[in-house]
Amino acid sequence: MAIATAAGPSRMNRVVIYGLLAIFAAIYLTPLFVMLTTSFKSLDEIRGGDILALPAHPTTKPWVKAWGSACIGVTCDGIKGYFWNSLRMVVPAVLISTALGALNGYVLTKWRFRGHKIVFGMMLFACFIPFQSVLIPMARVLGQLGLSNSTAGLVLVHVVYGLGFTTLFFRNYYEAFPDELVQSAQMDGAGFFTIFWRILLPSSAPIIVVCVIYQFTNIWNDFLFGVSFASGESAPMTVALNNLVASSTGVKEYNVDMAAAVIAALPTLIVYVLAGRYFMRGLMAGAVKG
């Protein structure tokens, strides 16, 4: 009887918890559901009213138009060019910022130098600098380097801004690695990069995944840097999407806008679906080691 009584509240607690989770998940996923269903509807069906209704006659025409022929500004070539702009921006920016963050974390934990705490403190401070405060200095730097209004310029901006975060992640992760491993490798004649490549990096997969997902999401979804440092054909996806949705000329095609928004969200969604569990493992491993 005591066992049944004890099991009763536990079962009830699970029902309440899972019920609340289901409710919150439904609320959170409703906008995505509306975006998907609207993107497969015709304009006549959208004007019918019920935004939660499934498409009566699904069509992929809005997706085709959003990708290849939707008008953005004065051109009507769709979002495909801007999509590839974002991809050309995000891949090198993520790789470079992650690699530099790993090297910084390695140096700040295993090759300490005089003033290393000050350097780390300054990089940590960089994590709290608002986007808006770096716009003018960064614009001047890009102008002097000849990288204004270019994908390479956006790569540089995101590498510089993200370096504080990636350094923090790797520094905390490497802090728990035994210094004796590095010292033993040095006694065996291993150099700076040999120790990094053969000892630390093979054990860094969890934190690398964390950095890649974090940086990929932030860079792909960034709007402020994109609209500030690029325009026209060199603009990233977020800027093109804003220009498409904010257009006030012609017929407002909500289905095309929704299709473009889903296309813009797909890369980050795919990254989280494929690597989400490793992201959580990396966060837990970093917390334990930190």
Q: For residue 282, is pLDDT > 60?
A: no
Q: For residue 280, is pLDDT > 80?
A: no
- Do residues 93 and 217 touch, judged by C-beta distance below 8 A? no
Percent of the chain with pLDDT over 70: 91
Torsion of CA 216, 177, 281, 13, to 10 degrees: -130
Helix (H, G, I), strand (E, B) or coil at 67: helix
Average pLDDT on 150-165 reads: 94
Q: Rounded CA gap, 155 and 169, in Å?
A: 20
Q: For residue 238, is pLDDT > 90?
A: yes
Going by the DSSP 8-state scheme, the letter that residue 177 receives in this structure is S
Non-local CB neighbours of 174 within 8 Å, separated by 6+ positions: 105, 106, 108, 109, 110, 200, 204
What are the phi and psi torsion angles at 72 (to 5°)? -125, 110
CA distances from 145 to 89, 132, 150, 153, 155 (A): 17, 21, 11, 9, 13
Average pLDDT on 163-189 reads: 87
The type of residue at 175 is E
Listed residue (152, 164, 143, 157) closest to 89, CA to CA: 152
Confidence grade of residue 245 (pLDDT, cut at 50, 70, 90): confident
pLDDT at 2: 47
- The pTM assigned to this predicted structure is 0.85
Q: What's the pLDDT tens digit per position in 140-150?
A: 999 999 998 99
Rounded (10°) angle between helices 151-174 and 80-110: 30
